[in-house]
A and B are shown apart, each in its own frame.
Chain A
Amino acid sequence: MSQSQSESQSRSNSANSPSKSASYKRVAAAEAEGNCKPVASSSPKKSKSARTIAKDFTSNDDMRSILDNVPTIELPPTTGDKKKFNYQEYKARQAAVNQPTGGQVELPVGQENCLAGLTFVFTGILNTLPRDEGVDLVKRYGGRVTSAPSRNTSYIVLGQEAGAKKLETIKKLNIPTIDEEGLYKMIRELPANGGSTAAGKAAAAKVAAEEKKIKEMAKSMGIPELKPSSSTSACANGTPIRTLLWTDKYAPTSLKDICGNKGLVAKLQDWLSKWDSNLKAGFKKPGPDGSGLYRAVIITGPPGIGKTTAAHLVAKSAGYDVIETNASDARSKNVVAETFNGVLDNTSLRGYFGSKNSNVEASKKKIVLIMDEVDGMSAGDRGGVGQMVTVCKTTHIPVILICNDYSLPKMRPFDKVTFTLAFRRPDAAAIRSRILSIAYREGLKIPTPVIDQLVQGSHSDIRQIINLLSTFRVSGTEMDFDQGKAMSKAWEKHIVMKPFDIAAQLLGGSLFSANSRSTLNEKLELYFNDHDFTPLMIQENYLRTRPQLARSYAPGAEYNLKSLELLDKAALSISDGDLCDRMIHGSQQQWSLMPLHGILSTVRPAAYASGAGAGGERYQFTSWLGQFSKGNKLMRYLQEIQSHARLRISGDRYEVRLQYMSAFFDHLYTPIATNGVEGVSKLIDFMDSYYMTKEDFDAILELGVGPQNGEELWKKIPTATKTAFTRKYNAMDHPVPFIRASAIGDPKKERAKKEIPDIEEALDDVIGDDAEDEPENGKDEEEESIDDLAKDKYIQRPSKAAAKQAKGKATSARGKKSAK
C-alpha cells in the first residue's frame, strides 16, 4: 500500500505543480518519485480509481512495476474563460480528433486481453493516434473505453486541446493521465488476461459466469440441438432444420428472447390484452399510457431489431391468430378495402377446422392484423395509405402496423389514428448474450469485444449480425478482433450522406490537411454519395471558407494574392467540371466520365478552397436550382410577350429583353406612376397596340432588374390606381393575336389536370364519407355539359346573371368542401 500511496502522491504533486508552457511535459512516474519528496498531506480526496487500481494490482509485483513505469503526463492548466458554444467549431473538432497532428507510428502488439479490467477515457487530439484507432486498440486488448471521466476510470489518454470541463473533472478525481506512448507501453508489457491480479481474476470470473449463462441460454433455446442424425428432424412448420436460415432457426420463440425494447414490448402486450375491453368501451378510456384510445398501433424503428418478431410473439402470447400483409402484397386502395372488408369482423376458424390432435384451443378465435412495411406502400399502391387509415379507425380487430421510417410525409395520416411505439436499437449489452449463445450453439468462438464490434458496425442490426456469423461459420470457427472489424466493415450499411454533411466534410479542411489519411478515392466517394447536389454545394460554398493553403502567408497583400490564386484555381476547376458535366448529361451521355467530373467539380475545388469557415458563415444550400427555375419561368414569360408582340416587332426574345424592355417600361409603368389614374387609358392603349395581355404586363414588371425592379416599383403605385387599372382593363375588349392551342382544348381534360390531389386532399377525402363524393361528382358532370362554353375563357357569356349563378355554385361547392 505504501508504494501506491507514494505513487499517488507524486502524481498529485506533478499535477498540482503549475506548468506554464502549453505543451505537455512528460514526466516519468519513477523519475518523479525519485526527485520529489513525498508530500505528507497529499490531496485530501484520494481518487478512488487510483485506489482501485492499487488494490487490484498490488497483489502482483510485476504488474505493479509495469504500471508504475508507465509515463504519466501533466495536465495542462485550465483556462477559466468560458467560450460560447459554437456548433461549427465543435464539428470541426470532431473531425480533427481523427486527424493526428504528428506522423504515423506502428501500433504496438501485446498479449491477449492484457488491458482487462482497465477503463480508459480518450480526450483531446492525440499526436500520433487517431481517436477511433485508439479506441479500437484498447478494446482489442480487452480494455473498456468510456466517453467521460468518472471514478471508475483507470487512465486518461490525453491529447492536445482537451476540453476545459473534462480537465477539471480529471483534476478533481485525480485520475492518472497518460499519453499514447504510455498506452503503447502498457500494451507491450502487461501480461495476458490482466495477469494474475485481482482485476484479471475478476475479469476472468466474469467471463466464466457469462459463459455459463450462455450455455444455459443455449440449452433453453427452443430448437433441439443439432446432432449428426438430426438432419431429418423438423421444426414446427415442417422445414428441416438444416435448411433453415440462422435467422429463422434462432428467431425468438418467446417474449423474453427479444433483445432490447422490453418496455415497448410490454406496452404492446398491454394494449393487445386490453383491446377487447377497450372495444366495448368504444375506445374512450385512455388508460395509463393513452394507448386505450387507439384501435391500431404502429411500430417504428430501423431494420433488424425485431419489430415483426415482437408483433408476432405478442400476438401469439395473447392467443391471437395473425393475418399478415407486407410489401409483397398489392395494397392499393381497392385491394385494401376488399381484403379487409370481411376480415375486420371475422373470427378465426382454425380451432374449428383443426384436426383433433392439433394443439389449437377452442378459444383461439381472435385475429390480429399485422401490416408489415407500411412505408413500403409506393406509387403502385395508390390510395392504400388512406384506406389503411380508414381501416385503423373502424376496425373490429386489433391492427398492428410496422414501418421503418415514420418521418416520411406519407406516414403522417397515421399520426392521429394509431398509437406509436418507436423501437430503438438495442445496445450491445442487450444483444451480446444472445449472439454469444448462438455462436456457442453453432460451435463458433467469438470473444466479447468482437461481438461488441459487430454490434457497433451493424448499428445493432441483430439480423445482420446473425447472417454475418452464419457466413463466417462456413469458413472458420474462431473470429478475432481484426476479422470482426473487417467483416463488419465489409457488411457496413452504406449510409448516404446529406448534401450539407458532404459539403461540410469536403470544405471543412480536415480532409485536405497535410496529415489527412483519406485517399483520393475516399474523397471521390463523397461526391458519389450525391453526385447531383455535391458539385452544386461545393460551388455555392467554396467562397465561404478561409483557405488553409493560404494560411501560412503574411496577412495583407501576400495573403490576398494567394487566396485569390486559390479561388481562381478552384473556380477554373469548377468551370472545367461543368464542361465535363455537359458531356455526361448532354447529347453524348458519357457516363464513364463521372469520376472525372467528381474530381473536377468537387474534389479539386475543395482541395484549393477548404479551410475553416470565414467569419462564422454557415454552409448555404445551393442557390443555383432556385435561380435556374426562376430563370426558366421568366424566360417563358418573355417568350409569351415576344410571341404576342410579334405582329409589331421583328426582334427575337433576347432583343425584346435587352432593348425593348426599357421602352415598354417607359410606356407601361411611367404613365400610371406619374399621372395616376389618368395614365391608365394611355397604358391600356399601348398594351393593346402590342397585343399584350394583363399577364404580360405583370411579366414585364417582373422582368426588370436593378432600377427597374418591378416588384418594388409596383408597390409604390397607390392601390386606387391599381384597381382602376384592373377594372378598366377588364371592362374593355382587347385584341388577341392568337389563341393558345391548349386554351381551346378539351375543358374537361383541363379540369382534370388541375385537380391532381395531393396527400392532404386525399386524406380529406378519406376522412370525409366516400358516399358524399359520388353524387357531387354526378352533379359536376351535369353542370359541365351545360357550362362547357363557360369554361372557355375566350367566350364570354351574354348575361351576367348566369355568370353570377355559376359563381354561386362554385362557392357553395367550395363551402361544402371546407365544411368537411
Chain B
Amino acid sequence: MSLWVDKYRPKSLEQLSYHHDLSDRLSSLAATGDFPHLLVYGPSGAGKKTRIIATLRELYGQGVNKIKIDSRVFQTSSSRKLEFNVVSSVYHMEITPSDMGNNDRLIIQDLLKEVAQTQQVDLSAKQRFKVVIINEADSLTRDAQAALRRTMEKYSPNLRLILLANSTSNIIAPIRSRTLLVRVAAPSYTDIQDILSQVAKKERFALPPRISERIARESGRNLRKALLTLEALYSQNDKLSDTTVIPTPDWEVVVNGIVDVIIQERNAPGILKARTKFYDLLSHCIPADVILKTLLFKLLERVDTELKPEVVYWAAFYEHRLHQGSKVIFHLEAFVAKFMRILERYMSGMLDVDMDM
C-alpha cells in the first residue's frame, strides 16, 4: 500500500509520457556505451530522478531496481564520527552529500574515490563503469565541488557521475564544463492532466476534467504535488466534482497567515507576529527560499500593479541574501519590513524620500 505517486512511477524510458525527445536522447546515450557524466537539472517534481533511474535500467537492465540502503560511518578530521546513508544497487550508488552539511567534502573525497578506484566486479554487467548519482548537487559546498572535479577526470574509466540539481547556478563552472547538461523541464499542464486521468483510470474512479485542470494549475507544474493532491482529494471526498475544494498544504496555510498579518498590521508588532510564524515554518524544515517565494506570490495577488515591480525587486534582493547569509530569519524579516514600508507609503499617499532602489 503505497501512495499513487510511488505506485505508478514509470520504470523504463518508454513508459515516460512526456519529453519524448529527451527520453530518446537518453536511451541513445545509454546505447552508445560511451556514457558521459551528466548534470541533470530542473525544478522539483519534473521527473529527474525517475528519468535517471529509467536510463540506468536501460544501461544495466533490471538489476538497478534491486536497491538497498547502507549506513556508513565516517570520521572527520576532528575525529567526530558521522553516519551517512548510501543507497546502492550492484551497478550504481546514490548519495546525498548535503546530508552531512559542511562535511560533504569528506564524502566526495573518501567514498567517491573508494568507489572509483575499484572496478566493476560483476563480469556479466553490461557496462564496465559504475554510476554514482549525487543528489542535491546544487547544495554541495565549494570545497566539495572542487574535490569532485579531479575525481571526475581521473577515474572516468570506472566511474560515471550523474549530478542532480534544481538549477545550475550553484554548480561551479569546471564541473559544468565536464558534464553533459540535461535539462528536465517541468511537465506542461496538459502533460499533468494526462497523467492524472491515467491514474484515475487505473484506480477506477471518475475524474472530472475541470478538477484535473485545477489540480494541475495548483501544483505549479510539479507532477509529484499534483499526484499527491489528487490522492488527497480522492481520499477526503467520496466523489470528485468540479467544485471540490483543493486542500492547501499545512505550511501554505501558515504563509497565508503571514500575508494577512503584514498587509493588515503594518507596524512593529505586525513584524513580530510575522517573525513568530517565520520561526514556526523554519524550525519545521520549510526552506527559507520556498517561504519567501510563496510569500511573494501571495502578496502580489493582493497589492496594486504599481507596487509590483518594487516588491519583486526587494524580494529578489533578499532572496539573494538568504543564500549569501546564514541566519535566514534576518532577511525574511527585513523583507517584511521593506514591504510594509512600501505599502504604507502607497496607502498614505506620502512621499518617502530615500527609497533607494
* A interface residue numbers (CB < 8 A to B): 539, 543-545, 557-558, 560-561, 563-565, 567-568, 570-572, 574-575, 577-579, 581-582, 585-587, 614, 623-624, 627-628, 630-631, 634-635, 638-639, 643, 646-655, 657-663, 665-667, 670, 685-686, 689-690, 703-708, 737-742
Contact = CB atoms under 8 A, between A and B. Distances in A.
Nearest to A670: B235
Interface string B187-210: 000000000000000000000000
A509 to B, nearest CB: 15
Nearest to B164: A652
Contact of B232 (A543, A575, A648, A666): A666
B334 A574 contact: yes
15 contacts: A543-B268, A545-B268, A567-B271, A574-B333, A575-B331, A581-B326, A582-B324, A582-B325, A614-B268, A631-B284, A647-B87, A651-B44, A663-B231, A665-B250, A705-B251
A714 B44 CA distance: 31
A581 B327 CA distance: 9
B15 to A, nearest CB: 15
B83 A742 contact: yes
B250 A561 contact: no
B111 interface: no
A634 to B, nearest CB: 5
Interface in B317-349: 318, 321, 324-327, 329-331, 333-334, 336-338, 340-341, 344-345, 348
Contacts, number: 218
B85 A738 contact: yes
Given A567-B268, A666-B236, A652 B279 contact: no
Contact of A741 (B72, B247, B324): B72
A647 B324 CA distance: 34
Interface stretch (B2-10, B21-29, B172-180, B237-245): B2-10
Contacts of A659: 45, 222, 224-225, 228, 249
B136 interface: yes
Contacts of A571: 271, 330, 333-334, 336-338
A156 to B, nearest CB: 41
Contacts of A561: 341, 344-345, 348, 350, 352
Given A574-B334, A648-B6, A650-B49, A579 B83 contact: no
Interface string B121-136: 0000000000000011
Interface string B281-320: 1111111001000000000000000000000000000100
B353 to A, nearest CB: 9
Contacts of A703: 284-285
Nearest to A660: B228
Contact of B337 (A568, A582, A657): A568
**Is the interface on chain B under 10, 10 to 19, 20 to 34, or 35 or more residues?**
35 or more
Contacts of B142: 587
Contacts of A670: 235
Nearest to A644: B69
A560 B257 contact: no
Given A655-B44, A662-B232, A560 B267 contact: yes
A587 B143 contact: yes
Given A650-B9, A659-B224, A741-B71, A582 B250 contact: no
Contacts of A544: 268, 272
Contacts of B279: 623, 627
Contacts of B271: 543, 567, 571
B253 A706 contact: yes
B334 A575 contact: yes
Given A568-B338, A663-B231, A737 B69 contact: yes
A690 B2 contact: yes
A351 B255 CA distance: 84
Contacts of B148: none
Contact of A738 (B71, B275, B286): B71
Contact of B249 (A578, A582, A658, A739): A658
B70 interface: yes
Contacts of B250: 661-662, 665, 704-708
Given A582-B325, A647-B69, A704 B284 contact: yes
A634 B228 contact: no
A808 B177 CA distance: 65
Contact of B254 (A648, A658, A685, A706): A706
* List of 7 A-B pairs having minimum Cβ-Cβ separation, nearest first: A571-B334, A708-B250, A578-B325, A650-B49, A738-B69, A557-B348, A571-B337
Contacts of B251: 658, 705-706
A663 B228 contact: yes
A558 B350 contact: yes
B6 A741 contact: no
B73 interface: yes
Given A543-B268, A639-B99, A705-B280, A564 B344 contact: yes
Contact of B3 (A614, A655, A663): A663
B254 A705 contact: yes
B340 A564 contact: yes
A471 to B, nearest CB: 44
A105 to B, nearest CB: 36
Given A649-B6, A661-B250, A563 B285 contact: no
B83 A741 contact: yes
B232 A663 contact: yes
Contact of A634 (B44, B143, B283, B352): B283
A561 B346 CA distance: 10
B352 A539 contact: no
Interface string B27-50: 000000000000000001100011
Contact of B85 (A628, A643, A652): A643
Contacts of B6: 648-650
Nearest to B351: A561
Contacts of B81: 742
B274 to A, nearest CB: 10
A544 B275 CA distance: 13
B92 to A, nearest CB: 14
A575 B331 CA distance: 5
Given A624-B327, A631-B285, 17 more contacts: A543-B272, A557-B350, A558-B350, A561-B352, A574-B330, A577-B330, A578-B326, A638-B285, A643-B85, A648-B3, A652-B135, A659-B45, A659-B228, A660-B228, A704-B284, A706-B280, A738-B70
A646 B69 contact: yes
Contact of B321 (A563, A578, A654, A667): A578
Contacts of B321: 575, 578-579
B80 interface: no
A609 to B, nearest CB: 9
Contacts of A578: 321, 325-327, 330-331
B1 A685 contact: yes
A276 B192 CA distance: 94
Contacts of B247: 662
B1 A689 contact: yes
Given A543-B271, A634-B284, A706-B251, A565 B1 contact: no
Contact of A661 (B235, B249, B352): B249
Contacts of B235: 666-667, 670
A365 to B, nearest CB: 54
A634 B280 CA distance: 12
A654 B44 CA distance: 10
A564 B337 contact: yes
Contact of B326 (A563, A564, A585, A667): A585
Contacts of B326: 578, 581-582, 585-586
A584 to B, nearest CB: 10
A759 B65 CA distance: 53
Contacts of B55: none
Report which residue of A585, A624, A658, A690 has the largest number of chain B beta carbons within 10 angstroms of its beta carbon.
A658
Interface string B45-87: 1000110010000000000000111111100000001010101
Nearest to B232: A666
B2 A657 contact: no
Given A658-B286, A738-B68, A706 B337 contact: no
